[in-house]
Chains A and B, each alone.
Chain A
Amino acid sequence: MQRLTTTLLAALALTCAAATATAQVPGTKLPGGTTVPDISGIWERIEGIRFNPSGGLPPYNAEYRRRYDEAMAARNRGERVADPTSRCLPQGMPRFMVASYPLEILQTRGQVTLIAEWSSQVRRIFTDGRRHPPADEVDITFNGHSIGRWEGQTLVVDTIGIRGDTSFDASPLTHSDQMTVSERLFLKDAGTLVDEITVTDPGAFTAPWKVTRTYRKGGPDARIMEYVCEENNREIFLPGQNEDRE
């Protein structure tokens, strides 16, 4: 009988843990007595669209530093340096988090969804307890595959499967296809969201690159506008004009 009771209690505990993992809407009780904070709403990036607000470069290895210097030299000569977003391609992660215009965050069961106004992009962070697909199977995409879990009041997110041909911002800050991104999202106060972003890239960096971004909660009039990049993009290819494009 005691064994049966123990088994039942263990089963109950597992059920509760599963419920906690999947029902992560704001207010859901978490282990330790805390509840899932409400990070939903419209958030406006504070510090501009440069990925690193302080302006420092990533800890590039020699090869990627050389690539950066060459691209900057070309730009300073007046040459046009390719930025895929000029052809309306997505920023990709982690530039998604510094794209122009606000982000909207939705919290639903098992998922935190980020909607970027720029080109109406959607990024899904799975909080249902799933794991990443195997590294050699995961689809390689602009925003990658993100899984998250609440640690206290912080949403800890890990992202893999990110394309190697995007950049960190409109400057020629590139990375390799070995890049992964981890994030710690938390409310500094009710109106301030912080994303501590750590970029790891054994192919391009000599150490992880940590950048902290801050977002301000949109006011009552805040709204997400439509943005269709392809609507009237005159940045097009012409014979003899596209040598410097991707």
Chain B
Amino acid sequence: MATRVSWPALALLVAAPALAHHSFSMFDAQKEVVLKGTVKEFQWSNPHTWIQLNVTDDAGKTVEWSIEGGSPNLVGRQGWKRNTFKPGDEVQITVHPMRDGRPGGSFVRAVLPDGRTLGGEQIPTAPGASRPQ
């Protein structure tokens, strides 16, 4: 299908929330997963940015991860640009994974192709593990 989703759309669509206006409870903030993959698409959009990352495991199976980041209004003020991630970029991205095991997560940090790192910004949290809009 010619959308940004390569597997069952439902899984992806539920994989949403994050750095902004909703509870973060669907992500496990206690866990970090390091993904190495190829950027399929970078959605520089509100309320959140999304990195669609194709990750191939040792068995040769490729899975598309949906990685939710801060809004352009947030990360743009931290130096991100709409071309920070480009299709085809080989990157390493650390995420807090979804609790239910689906291939989605919230962005923690990244290593870009040129070796630069992104992330680690302190984002104020409201009670109950929510994050800013």
Contacts and interface: CB of A to CB of B under 8 A. Distances in A.
Contacts of A241: 14
A232 B129 contact: no
Nearest to B48: A232
A2 interface: no
A173 B106 CA distance: 25
A100 B14 contact: no
Interface in A21-76: 48-50, 55, 72, 75-76
Most A C-beta atoms less than 10 A away, residue of B21, B68, B130? B21
Interface in B56-100: 68, 71-74, 76, 99
Contact of A170 (B12, B23, B72): B23
Interface stretch (A9-17, A135-143, A155-163, A222-230): A222-230
A3 interface: no
B13 A234 contact: yes
Nearest to B10: A238
A interface: dominant SS: loop
Given A80-B25, A225-B73, A49 B14 contact: no
Nearest to A44: B77
A170 B22 contact: yes
Most A C-beta atoms less than 10 A away, residue of B12, B50, B99, B124? B124
Interface residues of B, number: 36
A240 B8 CA distance: 16
B128 interface: yes
A7 interface: no
A229 B71 CA distance: 10
A83 B23 contact: yes
Given A99-B133, A232-B45, A172 B124 contact: no
Contacts of B68: 234
B51 interface: no
A234 B21 CA distance: 12
- The 4 A-B residue pairs whose C-beta atoms are closest, nearest first, are A48-B124, A234-B16, A86-B22, A170-B130
Interface of A: 48-50, 55, 72, 75-76, 78-81, 83, 85-86, 88, 99-101, 117-118, 169-172, 225, 227-229, 231-236, 238, 241
